[in-house]
Amino acid sequence: MTMPITLKDITIHPVIEQQGPFFDAMGFFPKLTKELLDENRPWLQPAFLDPADKLMLCIQSFVIKTPHHNILVDACVGNHKPRPTRPFWHMMNSDRFEKSLAAAGLTVNDIDYVMCTHLHTDHVGWNTKLENGRWVPTFPKAKYIMADRELEHWTARQKDNPDSVPWITDSVLPIIAAKRAQIVKSDFAFSDNVQFIPTPGHTIDHFSVLVGRAGADALITGDMIHSPLQGKYPELGMMADYDSPQAGTTRRKVFDRFCEEPTVMCATHFPAPSTGRVRRWGDGFKFVDAAI
Ligand SMILES: [Zn+2]
């Protein structure tokens, strides 16, 4: 089992739904060349790349336990959701998320806030669950915190073409309808030890979550990075980016800021344990073991 991260009186627990080789590396990173992949294969394999050149990815949430709140950052894929273009996420019916939450000592009733780093299908799924044919909030007491421009962007797309964004229909709009959403700016200060950092590019108004205080802190990245290959090459964009050049600028800026700090990166899509400290590596960055 993956260990929680302890930052004084705060702990961060991974809640894993899935881990495996989901996407072909060359398709996932459209500008990745065969030569570059060959050059990096020795350090990427076996942890980050499988023998068939598929990226090893984790689908997970993180729970932040503070003395006052239990906060879930992101909400994986969810159950019973029609995702016909992604067979490995289509109509899932799994108890892995719930069991992983239980391993952190929690049930859905214990979550006070859900923070959505962005509104992609693999980050909003457990926002809702199916109950008597309706999508209802999974976490009965939670407020769901979303960035304003992110929500505007996706609701406009849903209005234009609902079939292109089914996860907005079943996992975001029911939260708004239930009046559970708290809409904020992507630099929102939730408290003196939980702060949003705007990390735009992968989506229009993506944020990461900085937890703790200087000297004992962690950054939950969300999808500002998907693979350590994007540490070595910060400008390497991924297939679903809203603005890949902006995502590259964001990565460089964030890694420059933290590369001499003890800040632990909790990289949502890195395979477990998904944590590391970022350090310079040539013109890019690497992740080193974060022994806590
Ligand atoms: Zn994602």
What's the CA-to-centroid distance between 76 and ligand 1, angstroms? 8
DSSP strand E in 66-180: where?
A: 70-73, 113-115, 128-131, 134-137, 143-147
- Label residues 174-210 b or e (16+ Cβ within 10 Å = b): bbeeeebbeebebebebeebbbbbbbbbbbbbbbbbb
Distance 34 CA to ligand 1 centre (A): 24
Residues whose CB falls within 8 Å of the CB of residue 173, separated by 6 or more in sequence, listed in order: 155, 158
Question: How, if at all, do strands 189-191 and 194-198 pair?
Answer: antiparallel
Cα 180 to ligand 1 centroid, rounded to whole Å: 23
Q: Which parts of the chain sit beneath pLDDT 70?
A: 1-2, 291-292
- Residue 269 Cα to ligand 1 midpoint, Å, equals 7
CB 99 within 8 Å of CB 79: no
Tell which residue, 9, 64, 25, has the closest CA to residue 229: 25
State in Å: Cα 254 to ligand 1 middle. Answer: 18
HSE on the CB side for 61, CA within 13 Å? 35
What is the Å distance from ligand 1's center to 203 Cα?
10
Interval between CA 288 and ligand 1 midpoint (Å): 22
Question: Residue 33 C-alpha to ligand 1 middle, in angstroms?
Answer: 22
Dist. CA 58 → ligand 1 center (Å): 9
Q: What is the distance of C-alpha 36 from the center of its chain?
A: 26
Predicted pLDDT of residue 2: 66
For 127-152, write each residue's pLDDT tens digit: 999 999 999 999 999 999 999 999 99
C-beta separation of 10 from 211 below 8 A:
yes
- What pLDDT was estimated at residue 274? 95
Query: How far does residue 220's CA lie from ligand 1's centre (Å)?
Result: 13
Q: Are 222 and 275 in contact (CB under 8 A)?
A: no
Q: Could you report the per-residue pLDDT of 15-29, keeping only the tens digit for each?
A: 999 999 999 999 999
Three-class SS of residue 261?
A: coil
DSSP 182-230: EEE-TT-EEETTEEEEE--SSSTT-EEEEEEETTEEEEE-GGG-SSTHH
Report CA(122)–ligand 1 centroid distance (Å).
5
